């Protein structure tokens, strides 16, 4: 199967530097539409959907390959090699921040920089580490998703998106959740919310920007600060935005900080 077809890869622009935009759980590449046009003049933009998301080929799903985030990182690397990318700036939202970290650790010479938007190496509290959720919280979230995908989507989308004054954003996120095959949605959720990538952070040698929303129910500031402390030389910026999807709710803030960093 073609890698480009498998992940619905789109390549835009003709710049020498590559900007790969990686979506978060339950999302797809369309959610970068407010951000990527601002970089078309200087970058070749690579957009894609993870297997099971958006317009990817769901038939390519392999429960063994995708049993950890490393499987998704392998897809990222395959995409970059397929489009003959060099000097890659990887922008990852949410779980994609850790996927990008894994990819960069495996092939550091391929990556010029990492931008992590709302990253979390582990969602579960552990001793002095505060991920934001107890194991019981996560088990309940996954159980709810498995038992009623539609109801879970309707409940969680407004929590994840925040910004109740713009309900259309939560509506778009809810629709994106609902388009996923329920089995694949539950599988990706388990991998996302049960992964622990804290040990991978100190290995990152790629220049890194961490963008943290001022108010985020999914990845609180304490998590962003932890990621910053673990990645030597990283830049940590709190943006004036609410919720877990600032590339949708506050794209101007994200674009400004990305431009300054890149």
Mean pLDDT value of segment 21-37:
97
pTM metric for this prediction: 0.97
Task: Select which of 53, 89, 94, 96 is catalytic.
Answer: 94
Average pLDDT value for the chain: 96
Q: Which CATH number does the domain housing residue 79 bear?
A: 3.40.50.1820
The predicted pLDDT at position 1 comes to 66
Beta bridge partners of 259: none
Determine the pLDDT at residue 16. 83
100: domain range? 3-261
Task: List, for residues 69-98, the tens digit of each pLDDT value.
Answer: 999 999 999 999 999 999 999 999 999 999
94 is known as an active-site residue: yes
244 a catalytic residue? yes
Q: What pLDDT band is residue 213 in, cutting at 50, 70 and 90?
A: very high
- Decide: helix, strand or coil at residue 132: coil
**Helix residue spans in 129-181 (DSSP H):** 135-147, 149-161, 167-179
What pLDDT score does 15 carry?
83
Active site residue 216: yes
Active-site residue identified among 23, 186, 228, 244: 244
- Number of structural domains in the chain: 1
The residue among 67, 115, 150 whose CA lies nearest residue 231 is: 115
Catalytic residue among 216, 228, 234, 247: 216
Structure tokens at 159: 């929590």
């Amino acid at each position: 199967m073609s890698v480009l077809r498998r992940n619905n890869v789109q390549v835009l622009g003709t710049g020498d530097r590559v900007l790969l935009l990686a979506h978060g759980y339950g999302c797809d590449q369309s959610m970068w539409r407010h951000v990527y046009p601002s970089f078309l003049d200087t970058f070749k933009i690579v957009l894609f959907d993870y297997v099971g998301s958006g317009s990817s080929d769901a038939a390519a799903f392999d429960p063994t390959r995708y049993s950890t985030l490393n499987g998704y990182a392998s897809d990222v690397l395959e995409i970059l090699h397929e489009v003959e990318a060099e000097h890659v700036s990887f922008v990852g939202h949410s779980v994609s921040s850790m996927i990008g970290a894994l990819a960069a650790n495996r092939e550091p010479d391929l990556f010029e920089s990492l931008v992590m938007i709302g990253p979390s190496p582990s969602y579960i509290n552990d001793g002095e580490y505060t991920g934001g959720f107890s194991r019981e919280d996560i088990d309940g979230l996954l159980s709810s998703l498995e038992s009623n995908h539609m109801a879970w989507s309707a409940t969680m989308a407004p929590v994840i998106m925040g910004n109740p004054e713009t309900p259309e954003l939560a509506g778009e996120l809810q629709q994106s959740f609902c388009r996923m095959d329920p089995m694949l949605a539950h599988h990706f959720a388990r991998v996302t919310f049960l992964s622990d990538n804290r040990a991978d952070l100190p290995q990152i040698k790629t220049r890194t920007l961490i963008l943290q929303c001022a108010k985020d129910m999914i990845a609180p500031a304490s998590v962003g600060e932890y990621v910053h402390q673990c990645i030597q030389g990283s830049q940590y910026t709190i943006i004036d935005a609410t919720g877990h999807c600032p590339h949708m709710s506050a794209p101007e803030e994200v674009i400004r900080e990305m431009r300054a960093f890149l």
